[in-house]
Amino acid sequence: MKNSPQIEKKQLSTRLNHSDYQAPAGFAAYPTAVHHASTVLFENVAAMRSRNWLDKQSYTYGLHGTPTSFTLERRLAEIEDAQHCILAPSGLAAISLIDLALLKSGDHVLIPDNAYSPNKELAHWLQSQFDIAVSVYPPMCGAGIENYIRPETRLIWVEAPGSVSMEIPDLPVIAEVAHRHQIVVALDNTWSAGIVYPGFEHGADIIMQALTKFQSGGSDVLMGAVLVNDAELYKRLQLTHMRLGLGVGMDDVYLVLRGLPTLALRFAEHDCSAREIAAWLKEQPEIQTVLHPALPECPGHPIWQRDFTGAAGLFSVIFKEEYSEQQIDRFVDALALFGIGFSWGGSHSLCVPYRMQGMRDSWTEKGQLVRFYIGLENTKDLKADIRQALQQL
């Protein structure tokens, strides 16, 4: 910042905008300072002219980050063992950043049938508007992914486990096939919060996470992250991020930073409670199947055992066929401790019934599917609540 020359006493409106005060250096505390900025000041014109926003050793403009967002990016990169991290204003913005950085017209992208629905919706929109072809593949195809690959395939999405239906795909096998064809593999690693599934070790080239979920943990912020090791991929992502102007608000960044120290503790508690409730639901006569990766009847359970070191508080159940959609809606409405709403990762339990036929290319289950998110409430109370709601059936 420039030093103002000491002339005579300045007028009020100038004094309101320029002050000579500088807080003493040497302040130390654990929380990261929240640096807000659109304009970032340069020392002099030479510094302004030689700026390089791609280099995160210096600051150029609020859109490209302040010490607050740089800190969150580094900390997330440390957690996932990645070289680079880029923040985006939501998990979905992180997904679209990856698609737009990697795909151009004439290219082909593969998306698993169990992907987060807006990810599929985006791909179909790219197909209709920008001539980027999309194919939906069965998530459990493993090495069979090869059958879906075309000469123009550039990107394969993987989600572990799949949104709502919870299948655990064989990422190492898919990545091995993809890499033989020089195809980039992007993993949606939101469910594991980046702490119980080392996606890069299992072959992902790019990892995205919705920080909206466990990292923030407060149901009060939307943010996404893209993590990558390859320098060339990182540059493509940075350029696309700049062109699209995907800035994040520093107060939101602060909220995510605030959640990180307790992330593992909260995750473990959600995991423990969800496993207890999932196992208990398995015993209930109204339930056909419990789709929790830690239970043997979940598709891909052995892969979960092999590749994961924990499970999130999110799982689904399929009710017995005899229960109609109306009855299941009544069950969900009758729950007192489970809120009805999208997103998850906060401290409160949630429950959502899904119409799977409309969401999936192929879905053969006849019973109604309900997704549970187990919060930090006591499991005895949560079970009692579910039991009284089941009685409404």
Ligand X SMILES: *Cc1c(COP(=O)(O)O)cnc(C)c1O
Tell me which residues touch ligand X (CB under 6 A). 90-92, 116, 159, 163, 188, 190, 210, 212-213, 222, 224, 343
72 vs 222 by CB, closer to ligand X: 222
Q: Rounded CA gap, 258 and 349, in Å?
A: 21
CB of 222 to ligand X, least distance (A): 5
Residue 213: CB minimum distance to ligand X, A:
6
Shortest approach of ligand X to residue 13 CB, angstroms? 42
Whole-number minimum distance, CB 277 to ligand X, in Å?
Answer: 19
Share of the chain residues as helix, strand and coil, in percent rounded to the nearest 5 = 40, 15, 45
Task: List Cβ neighbours of 256 (8 Å cut-off, separation of 6 or more).
Answer: 72, 211, 215, 216, 221, 223
As measured in angstroms, the least distance from the Cβ of 73 to ligand X is 16
Q: From the CB of 223, what's the least distance to ligand X, in Å?
A: 7
- Residues 6+ away with beta carbon under 8 Å from 119: 92, 95, 111, 157, 159, 188
Q: Which is nearer to ligand X, 65 or 224 (CB)?
A: 224
In total, the chain counts a number of residues equal to 393
34 CB-side CA count, 13 A = 12
Nearer Cβ to ligand X (248/295)? 248
By beta carbon distance, the residue nearest ligand X is 91
Return the number of the residue (159 or 307) whose C-beta is nearest ligand X.
Answer: 159
Q: Is 177 left (phi over 0), alpha (psi -120 to 50) or beta?
A: alpha
User: Quick one: 299 or 385, whose CB is closer to ligand X?
Assistant: 299
Beta-carbon-side half-sphere exposure of residue 48 (alpha carbons within 13 Å): 9
Cβ proximity to ligand X: between 83 and 219 the closer is 219
Cβ nearer to ligand X, comparing 183 with 208: 208
Minimal CA–CA distance to 59: which of 85, 39, 82, 86?
39
Edge-to-edge order in the sheet of strand 369-373: 287-291, 314-319, 369-373, 350-354
Cβ proximity to ligand X: between 225 and 277 the closer is 225
Sign of CA dihedral 150, 152, 158, 164: negative
Q: Where are the beta strands (DSSP E) in 174-325?
A: 184-188, 206-210, 224-228, 287-291, 314-319
Q: Are strands 206-210 and 287-291 parallel, antiparallel or unpaired?
A: unpaired
Minimum CB–partner distance for residue 347 and ligand X (Å): 16
Cα gap 144→131, rounded to integer Å = 25
What is the nearest approach in angstroms of ligand X to the Cβ of residue 113?
14
